[in-house]
Amino acid sequence: MAKIEVLERISDTVWEIPISYKKGMQVPARIYGTEKLIREMDDAVYDQITNVATLPGITKYALCMPDGHFGYGFPIGGVAAMDVENGGVISPGGIGFDINCGMRLVVTNLTYDDVKPYIKQLVDRLYERVPAGVGSKGFVKLSPMEFRKVMEKGARWCVENDYGWEEDLEMTEENGCIKGADASTISEKAIERGFNQIGTLGSGNHYLEIQVAKPENIFDRSLAEKMGITIPNQVVVMFHCGSRGFGHQVATDYLQVFLKVMESKYGIKILDRELACAPFYSPEGQAYFAAMKCGLNMSFANRQVILHRIREVFSEIFGRSPEDMNMRMVYDVAHNTAKLESHIIDGKERSLLVHRKGATRAFAPGMSGIPEKYKSIGQPVIIGGSMETGSYLLAGVPGGAETFFSTAHGSGRTMSRTKARKTWRGEKLQKDLENKGIYVRATSWSGLAEEAGSAYKNIDDVIAAAELAGISKRVVRFTPIGNIKG
């Protein structure tokens, strides 16, 4: 149980750990969540988020979202903004090994009644066409040289090579290609791990899911319609994946670089080696920033190719073109990133490097960086739940300024993967899910057991906490009917 007694209750959903809690804290740490969620949080979150609060240049608060749980360096759900003009650092532990692990949501004009007779056929075909699991390889055959182009061009490379539509780029964070990616900052080992993984799901909590927007689960009909949810029991497709082994190697490479120079060259001392960092404007910091952007772009490309395969499969099963089925993107949003953004701090606009580790950007109406289509309503935020419970579409709101316009990214684990494997059997779980109307294919029974719904926090509790805290707004809740697990 979490040590709730160390927290000062700021509101029903905001809890603060003062700088007196730990030597070296530059700012207070704030954890978002209802009392129920806070009490369920593991103690490691307290230790990690207060360690984050000691990093050079951190601004305002070290933050943890309602789905927060133990991670590498930062807790998963951790957010920290560094003042790069005043010694702020960049830390791979604040971004994650799976750089730009993120979500993509696609609508269709099909209903549950249209899809139900074909759900097994759809899931089986998608399982064949979208490789999943550890070491899976994609059908897009690239040379290491061509892969360098993908690193720098992201999803734009895919569209140029007929793996998507021009409008897909408009509906992707950073238009599917973040500027400043530099392939020369990437090791040969990272290239070797990544060049054959475009169009693959990976393993762990990565998935591809067919879902239904039931009328009773639409919380804001006007916003839902503007985001493409327009018919009763509409079928959508959501998927979650990142930069695979490529991003992992990029993070590994630069963690080693930072550990060598952090103290000897820059005099930075940290409480946890997993928070290895370097000044943002140092040569090492800039090299990692450019390499991390390659990871972002690879992941955008990965999800773009997966979308292409999804459209192919739906077209084959239903005998209609993707355009005829209106298979358009709602949005593609990243989780594990660090980005330079302008934020108002104490009445002044400042350039901050916002680390979001297992947290989602949630820009409010009118902010730059949102597609024109959503300027008046706020950025779509896609939150994946467990394969048993459902997922959410949210919108960014002005109150998000308190969290540098960040919100949760998922349910958040409450149980280790090891314990989950000991608690459930994958074969039985698959049958139980099918009895509930959810057809699941997985690459392994043990992997399926790891992702049991009860190994996660209640997604409804997490989303309710985020909305009550005023950092995002519920739009639609989706119910799963078919799932592919990595």
* Active centre residues (catalytic): 409
Residue 76 identity = I
CA of 262: how far to CAs of 258, 284, 311, in Å? 5, 10, 47
The burial class, CB within 10 Å (0-12 / 13-18 / 19+), for 346 is exposed
Structure token pair of residue 177: 């290609």
Distant-in-sequence, close-in-space partners of 319: CB < 8 Å, separation ≥ 6: none
The burial class, CB within 10 Å (0-12 / 13-18 / 19+), for 345 is middle
CB atoms within 10 A of CB 22: 16
Rounded CA separation 285/291 (Å):
10
Rounded CA separation 483/239 (Å):
9
Pairing verdict, β 337-345 and 439-442: unpaired
Structure token pair of residue 470: 């005023």
Rounded CA separation 300/170 (Å):
12
